[in-house]
Chains A and B, each alone.
Chain A
Amino acid sequence: MYVYDEYDQRLVDERVAQFRDQTRRYLAGELSEDEYRPLRLRNGLYIQRYAPMLRVSIPYGLLSSAQLRVLAHVARRYDRGYGHFSTRQNIQYNWPKLEEVPDLLADLASVQMHAVQTSGNCIRNITADHLAGVAADEIEDPRPWCELVRQWSTFHPEFYWLPRKFKIAFSGAMQDRAAVMVHDIGLYIVRNDAGLTGFRVVVGGGLGRTAILGAVIREFLPAEHLLPYLEAILRIYNLEGRRDNIYKARIKILVKAMGAETFAERVEAEFQHTRNEVPFDWAEYRRIARHFAPPSYDPDAVAGSGVVESLRAQAPAFDRWVTRNVKAHKVPGYRVVMVSLKAPELPPGDCTAEQMDLLADLADRFSFSEVRSTHDQNLLLADVRESDLPEVWRALDAARLATPNIGTLTDMICCPGLDFCSLANAGSIPIAQQLNDRFSNLDYLYDLGEIQVKMSGCMNACGHHHLGHIGILGVDKHGLEFYQITLGGSATADACLGDRLGPAIAKSEVAECVARILDVYLEQRNEDESFLNCYRRIGIEPFKSRVYAEVTREEGSDVATAD
């Protein structure tokens, strides 16, 4: 992975010192609350419902074992012993003290970590396919480009005060595992007929109040033009994006108002200038890319894979885990181990300091000292020899990190919701708990197959509810928590937004409602048809009539649903 040189390190150290001074001036009354807010937000610090929340950047989801140990240390020293992994591959701490945050940041800087631009109206952490570099369907590893864009966007003087937050995601593979279509800028690595690397550029995707998929504005952008092209997009957005209404300030609104075609023309015109103004150097790309060279895989790794099959035959729990949580690797004899942060008794995405330490040890022993975070709030060990799977499984299982539910209904995406977040209208974690209690039978979950439940506690959509096969959105109805259900969303290559099922459901009814949706699916599916494909075939009506007809009849109550 990328290792800082003296320049990268100095910039992070200088930001720590700057933030320390900003916080001191705020506490001394030299900066008002209104003035300090955007400054602390640009360093990931929110003031939340109960305490500050600090979001730490994990660039494109990549962590060294040394970094993970410091994240564990931060959880113990400054927080309550755990952290929460977010849908943007970052980690959040819910209980740091404002006065201690500068020290916390200095600890992070000691392992090349920071909270730079994890919040505020600026360019946020760059996210990417969590299987970058190890997926068989990959055209090219996007991570060197991610790092190049990370550096370009860090303290970019012109784009530090944008109309609204700005998110960029990369995918270098055939399958989109990074929800690229719902980012402000999405970049797919493509090859042209001449075999040259470039990007398909998508702009104006996003979730939140106005969920929309991005529009392609360039089918093939030669790779060396990436930075000037991004500069052109950002400049037009900075100058013309709306600033009069926070809900209309994202670039998606500008692209929609202008029309994608006109927006593309404007970008091309601006790019004719920026291409001569923004430098790019292939030598610098190669310097960065060297950090992402494949690790020294064991050429004899295939030989030891027999132990896996024999243990699978003996131990059903191991067999379930291999089936569900272990994924293909492009190198023979190696596998990707998904580390489920969706144990039924814990909020989705939460990870304790002890678990982080254990994962750091496992990474050192079995996966070239690296761990990754995924956009669906799990972790993974990317390069595990098949013959090591039994030992990795035992260690993960003992630490409650081997729940064999990756890709199943209980592998839910879930925002912190009303329990922590000051924006939330309704709880998310209690709904996850309700679903975990109701759907605890593994055979039932496996029979359902691939199904994604995504929930957000408000329309800001941190839990990507629009993209869930089943999406759950918390809403406030006269002071009560209600939940809007959507069906048929998808975050992958065939990305689409879910359709609204009907009036919002009372909190106590959510698991029952989901159960009825699943009943319809199980009754109607053709043999191996997935939930999503079944939904696309039969449409929303059968689900709608089942959910609402029965709720009304059984409950006979006018508070079961609301609109």
Chain B
Amino acid sequence: MSPPLIKRREIVANSWRQVADDEPLPDDAPVLVSWARWTAERAELTRRGTEGLGVVVNAAEITPEELGRDAGNFGVIAFEFPAFADGRAFSQAALLRTRYAFRGEIRATGRILPDQLHFLERCGFDAFELPERFDPERALAIFSEFSLAYQQARDGVIPVMGRRGQKQDVREPTQH
């Protein structure tokens, strides 16, 4: 069984199977394929529908335009972080949500830190696969370290500027 996933701030089982490029596709489970496999087997993969197809990308190797153009084919877009300091996927996710209106799951995998979850979520990520040595239960608490934000972002939190205008009470962030 694959490691647990944090999805919309809950720990859930990861039902998506990441398949290698030379591995046959299972019929019974939704799959995550590489971008290379997607481009090579586009016609066949499209038949799985968004419920059954996701893609794993490295933000360094793909432009937001390429990703945005094809995003409608996927139920999951997973950004694999080559290093936690590589911030490109933050912009990619923000663009997927705002410019390309992607409504599926945006997942962060690879070398991410629990301390980044709050920022990732604000950019539009809603699923997180932490490296195994981090306890997902404890990571959940990190989401709530900041109860406010200055910027308008993709998590629906009313920015401070808006609160000042409306003088309303702090609300919990709304979910996608």
Interface set of A (CB-CB < 8 Å, partner B): 5, 7-8, 10-11, 14-15, 17-18, 21-22, 31, 35, 38-39, 121, 151-152, 154-163, 235, 238-239, 243, 273, 277-279, 281, 283-284, 287
Contact = CB atoms under 8 A, between A and B. Distances in A.
Nearest to B63: A239
B83 to A, nearest CB: 8
B60 interface: yes
A157 B165 CA distance: 22
12 contacts: A11-B150, A18-B146, A22-B115, A31-B113, A35-B84, A155-B146, A157-B118, A157-B153, A158-B90, A278-B151, A281-B165, A287-B164
A161 B152 CA distance: 18
Contact of A158 (B64, B123, B150, B165): B123
Contact of B86 (A152, A235, A243, A283): A243
Contacts of B116: 161
Nearest to A160: B119
Interface of B: 60, 64, 84-88, 90-92, 94-95, 98-99, 113, 115-116, 118-120, 122-123, 145-153, 159-165
A72 to B, nearest CB: 30
Give the interface SS of chain B, mostly helix, strand, loop or mixed: helix
A5 B150 CA distance: 13
A18 B84 contact: no
Nearest to B94: A158
B85 A161 contact: yes
Contacts of B120: 157
A5 B148 CA distance: 13
Contacts of A21: 145
B91 A157 contact: no
A35 B113 contact: yes
Nearest to A235: B91
A151 B150 contact: yes
B99 A273 contact: yes
A278 B152 CA distance: 7
Given A157-B119, A277-B152, A239 B64 contact: yes
A499 B151 CA distance: 43
A10 B148 contact: yes
Contacts of B95: 235
Given A157-B119, A162-B87, A239 B92 contact: yes
A239 B152 contact: no
A414 B153 CA distance: 40
Contact of A238 (B90, B149, B151, B161): B90
Given A158-B90, A161-B87, A279 B150 contact: no
Contacts of A151: 150, 160-161
B145 A157 contact: no
Contacts of A35: 84, 113
Nearest to B87: A161
Contacts of B99: 273
B150 A161 contact: no
B165 A238 contact: no
B32 to A, nearest CB: 23
Nearest to B92: A239
A15 B145 CA distance: 8
Contact of A159 (B85, B87, B98): B87
Nearest to A276: B98
A121 B88 CA distance: 13
A154 B90 contact: no
B176 to A, nearest CB: 15
The 10 A-B residue pairs with the shortest CB-CB distance in the complex, in nearest-first order: A161-B87, A157-B122, A157-B119, A7-B160, A151-B150, A18-B145, A158-B90, A238-B91, A239-B91, A284-B161
Nearest to A231: B151
Contacts of B64: 239
A162 B119 CA distance: 13
Nearest to A161: B87
A412 B120 CA distance: 43
A155 to B, nearest CB: 7
B86 A277 contact: no
Contact of A5 (B94, B119, B164): B164
Nearest to B64: A239
A243 B162 CA distance: 35
Contact of A7 (B90, B91, B148, B151): B148
A14 B145 contact: yes
Nearest to A273: B99
A15 B159 CA distance: 17
A17 B145 contact: yes
A243 B89 CA distance: 13
Given A22-B115, A238-B90, A279 B146 contact: no
Contact of A279 (B84, B149, B162): B162
A14 B113 contact: no
Nearest to B131: A35
Given A155-B146, A160-B90, A239-B64, A38 B119 contact: no
A165 B91 CA distance: 17
Contacts of B86: 161, 243
Most buried by A among B91, B95, B122, B145: B91
Contact of B90 (A15, A39, A161, A279): A161
A35 B85 CA distance: 9
Contacts of A235: 91, 94-95
Given A38-B85, A158-B90, A160-B90, 20 more contacts: A8-B160, A11-B160, A14-B146, A21-B145, A35-B84, A157-B123, A159-B90, A160-B119, A161-B85, A161-B86, A161-B90, A161-B119, A238-B91, A239-B88, A239-B91, A239-B92, A243-B86, A243-B88, A279-B162, A284-B161
A156 B152 CA distance: 9
Contacts of B160: 7-8, 11, 151
A105 to B, nearest CB: 14
A299 B67 CA distance: 64
B115 A157 contact: no
